[in-house]
Amino acid sequence: MEGRHSGVEEYTIRIIDALSRIAASHTYHLFYNSAKKVTLPKFRENVVLHAFRYPNKIFNTSQLLLNNPKWDRMLPVTPDVVFVPNPRLAPLSYGVPLVTTVHDLSFERFPEFLTMKRRMWHTLMRPQLLLQNSDRIIAVSEHTKDDVVQMYGIDSKKISVIYSGVSSFTVSPIDVQRIKRVHALPEKCLLFVGTQEPRKNIAGVIDAYTAIAHTVPHHLVIAGERGWKTAQLAKSIASSAYADRIHSMGFVDEAEKSALYAAADLFVYPSFYEGFGFPPLEAMIAGTPAVVSFNSSLPEVVGEWATMIDPYNTPQLASVLQEMLLTPTRVPESVRAAIREKYSWEKAAQQTVKVLENVA
């Protein structure tokens, strides 16, 4: 709705689209509220939009303090099941079936990576209460499921693990050359894609790159929308002896992002915590090898194909980056096909609709 396209937005858009195709006999009622103008994708004929225009501060305060308005009563039809694709306040009448997807508990594990405002937001959304009240929970990885069980005391039998899909795409050499020309990028580059926030460890990428930049011809390209606590990132770039070879692009749309993946010689993603991790999978589908952290869900989701490092060990990261940049390879088509097969939105939708139907 806000025009962003990070992990939760990607999941929400893709799962709605896939559900409406895979289980086309159902009708999907999408509920949203915003006093401001919103940006929505186009949906199929069996998707019905219900827009409300209350100021969100008033709307959320009422939900928080009064547990009203009930979402199901705001709709012209009584839902067979309510599906919430990311934990938040969701007041419902007694007995209305509820399924919630949880992507990660990074806000519980690493609150220090968030601003006070964002910590307060997560607290006020009452995620633990929502998950306790859900008839069924979908976790996007076994790691996320384990976190929900351990941190919130939820019965593991109540949680279904359904991997998110990864969108498949093709990029032509013309697309690659265009992205380099438009953004004045060098022929050889090391790439990071992700929201600019402390949890992604972009400062660690800059430090590792700075340590090896004199040995490689590559520039470092950082792409992704501006998040929070970004002052340190700007300082890291400015203090690097190779600041003139570090390109901070900010937000890029889906077409540009796909071309960036294909243009890079190596993708780096040393995040401190991930519930799933779209970018390294997307990079490998584009043929670009990935270096990722040996932590959280990443060994489970991408460990079979990526090179793993300790995100707290910058010299190790620098050494691995140097070796892989000096001996560049591409991801074999067999690996790319295996990723597309394991992480398809059709498969995710088929498993999700079974959960929704069973709960309904």
DSSP assignment letter at 163:
P
pLDDT above 90 as % of the chain: 81
Q: Is the pLDDT of residue 6 over 80?
A: no
Which among 74, 86, 1, 5 has a CA at the least distance from the CA of 37? 1
Q: Please give the structure tokens belonging to residue 307.
A: 């090179």
Would you state the structure tokens that stand for residue 310, as one six-digit string? 């300790």
Q: What backbone torsions phi and psi does residue 270 show, to the nearest 5 degrees?
A: -90, 50
State the number of CA atoms in the 13 A half-sphere of 198 facing the CB. Answer: 13
What is the pLDDT averaged over residues 126-130?
96
**CA-wise closest residue to 77 among 27, 118, 25, 121:** 27
Mean residue pLDDT of the chain comes to 94
pLDDT value for 171: 87
Phi, psi (deg, nearest 5) at residue 224: 145, 150
How much is the pLDDT for 343?
A: 97
Q: Which backbone phi and psi does 264 adopt, to 5 degrees?
A: -80, 150
pLDDT at position 22 over 90: yes
Cα 327 to Cα 60, 69, 217: the distances in Å are: 53, 59, 12
Cα(15)–Cα(66) distance, rounded to whole angstroms?
31
User: Distance between CA 267 and CA 331 in Å, rounded?
Assistant: 11
The string of pLDDT tens digits covering residues 55-99 is 989 999 999 999 999 999 999 999 999 999 999 999 999 999 999
Q: Is the pLDDT of residue 2 over 80?
A: no
pLDDT for the residue numbered 40: 87
- pLDDT the model gives residue 250: 83
pLDDT digits (tens, 9 = 90+) for 130-183: 999 999 999 999 999 999 999 999 999 999 999 999 988 888 889 899 999 988
Flag whether pLDDT at 337 surpasses 80: yes
Q: Which two tokens stand for residue 345?
A: 């939105």
What end-to-end distance do the CA atoms of the chain give, in Å? Answer: 27
The structural domains of the chain, ordered by start, are: 7-165+344-359 (3.40.50.2000), 173-342 (3.40.50.2000)
Q: Is the dihedral of CA 174, 176, 182, 188 positive or negative?
A: negative
- Quick: pLDDT tens for 258-298: 999 999 999 999 999 999 999 999 999 999 999 999 999 99
Per residue in 191-249, pLDDT (tens digit) is 999 988 899 999 999 999 999 999 999 999 999 888 788 777 888 888 999 999 999 98
- The 3-class SS string of 215-284 reads HCCCEEEEECCECCCCHHHHHHHHHCCCHHHEEEEECCCHHHHHHHHHHCCEEEECCCCCCCCHHHHHHH
Is the pLDDT at 300 greater than 90? The verdict is yes
